Homo-oligomer: A and B are copies of this chain.
Amino acid sequence: MANILKGAAVVGQSGGPTAAINATLSGVIKGFFESNGAVTKLYGMRNGIEGFIGERLCDLGEMFADSEGKLDTEKLDMLVSTPAAALGSCRKKLPKPQDDPAFFENLIALFKKYDIRYFFYIGGNDSMDTVAKLTEYLRTSDYEMRVMGVPKTIDNDLAGTDHTPGFGSAAKFIATTMQEIIRDCAVYTTKAVTIVEIMGRDAGWLTAAAALPRVITGVEPDYVYLPEAPFSMEGFYRDIEAAFEKHPNIVIAVSEGARFADGRYVGEGTQSGATDVFGHKYLEGTGKALENAVKEHFGCKVRSIELNLPQRCAAHLTSGTDLTESQNCGKTAVLSAVSGTSGCMIAMIREDGEEYKISYVPSDVTKIANAVRDVPRSFINEEGNNVTDECLNYIKPLIAGETKLFFKDGLPVHFIIK
């Protein structure tokens, strides 16, 4: 039996929002209500660790309890279908414990002040880095606290997990929108190229999802260019010429992170060169750069479309599978921590066999943080201009199922934490 640790919990959301990050939060809330009293209180930190330091907390247990103190499932369902970090987010990178022990001493003092014994952090790579650093510091402290990371990223690029919560919903939105754009572009008989730029700075998973309709409805873009396969302008022009032999309306999916063999980004010409706080290059304009190139080279009608923020916040079209799994990850984090686990991220392991089935397994967070999981070369065709059916069959079960929405006068209603 694990030793029972009684105390409050705090949960935060961090990094870029997704359409599923509140489903994960709902799982943490569910876990709290099922913790049999081990977790005495559930605080939400506003704007992640940054808000926690400023003691901007709310009482989630109280917020989601009905008049009898039980979980209000309708409120919870509404939270599930609300996009974009209901608690707010931040992009704060923690110092290394050895570089700034005072920072961590201050955190511990706050944990003590609120009797916080459980710390749950929902986020991507950078958030798992926070969980890893806090875990590292706690090893040198006599304050007993259990720390768990809950994965979240539409990019699907976290190591150690079959896929990430949030990816399935983004993939479903991208696949659905690509199908619609392909239909829209098919109505005219004049030569035209439509370039759809898809998120994914380093990994091409989201761009791969653009081809997903191929294995479901038989519809697909002509080409799919991922960051993992070197891009060449000559090859690109050749591809377009070959597609024009078949039909007048070409639709292309390209990752914002597409790059040449020498590592330069395709969008580099038009980008600012600015980097974000984690040192990642901030990109813009891969689609625009290719639009201009096609206009000049072919002189035909050309349009570029950036799917932009809706890829990560289109809560009106999410994957039922993704939201259920996201919730399960959150709940498993709480119940694992209650039973003694710490310093772990909840990973999803796909079981062998015909039927799609997922196990939720706490995994050492230090092995996950800061590692990037690319699309493997075997998922990309030989020419480097499309993805294989194997790749699509990997993604396919992740978009299955629809989500209950709450409509009022034709508009989805979200759960807003003031």
Contacts and interface: CB of A to CB of B under 8 A. Distances in A.
Interface string A242-283: 000000000000000000000000000000000000000000
Interface string A382-398: 00000000000000100
Contact of A187 (B88, B319, B408): B88
Given A187-B89, A402-B407, A410-B319, A310 B216 contact: no
Interface string A142-178: 0000000000000000000000000000001001110
Interface stretch (A64-72, A110-118, A301-309): A301-309
A211 to B, nearest CB: 12
B411 A177 contact: no
A409 B399 contact: yes
Contacts of A305: 306, 308-309
Contacts of A51: 189
Interface in A201-229: 212-213, 216-217, 219
Contact of A83 (B183, B400, B407): B183
A262 to B, nearest CB: 28
A183 B414 contact: yes
Contacts of A411: 172, 175-176, 179, 212-213, 216-217, 399
Contact of A189 (B82, B90, B176, B309): B90
Contact of A400 (B187, B410, B416): B410
A217 B90 contact: no
A63 B88 CA distance: 52
A315 interface: yes
Most buried by B among A180, A312, A316, A408: A180
A179 B412 contact: yes
A313 interface: yes
Nearest to A91: B188
Contact of A177 (B212, B314, B400, B409): B314
A186 interface: yes
Contact of A315 (B180, B213, B321): B180
Contact of A188 (B90, B177, B317, B416): B90
A321 B396 CA distance: 32
A17 B187 contact: yes
A184 B309 contact: yes
A295 to B, nearest CB: 9
A240 interface: no
A11 to B, nearest CB: 15
A108 interface: no
A306 B402 CA distance: 27
A84 interface: yes
A85 interface: yes
Given A176-B411, A216-B411, A409-B396, A82 B187 contact: no
A181 B47 contact: no
B184 A84 contact: yes
A241 to B, nearest CB: 24
Contacts of A306: 305-306, 308
Contact of A184 (B13, B312, B402): B312
Given A188-B90, A188-B91, A409-B399, A414 B82 contact: no
Contacts of A175: 411
Given A51-B189, A90-B189, 11 more contacts: A47-B189, A83-B183, A83-B184, A179-B411, A179-B412, A180-B315, A181-B309, A183-B315, A317-B317, A399-B410, A402-B407
**Which 5 pairs of residues, A with B, have the shortest CB-CB distance?**
A399-B410, A184-B313, A89-B187, A400-B410, A84-B184
21 contacts: A47-B189, A84-B186, A84-B187, A88-B186, A88-B188, A176-B411, A179-B411, A179-B414, A180-B309, A180-B310, A181-B313, A184-B309, A184-B312, A194-B309, A216-B409, A303-B309, A305-B309, A306-B306, A319-B410, A320-B410, A400-B409
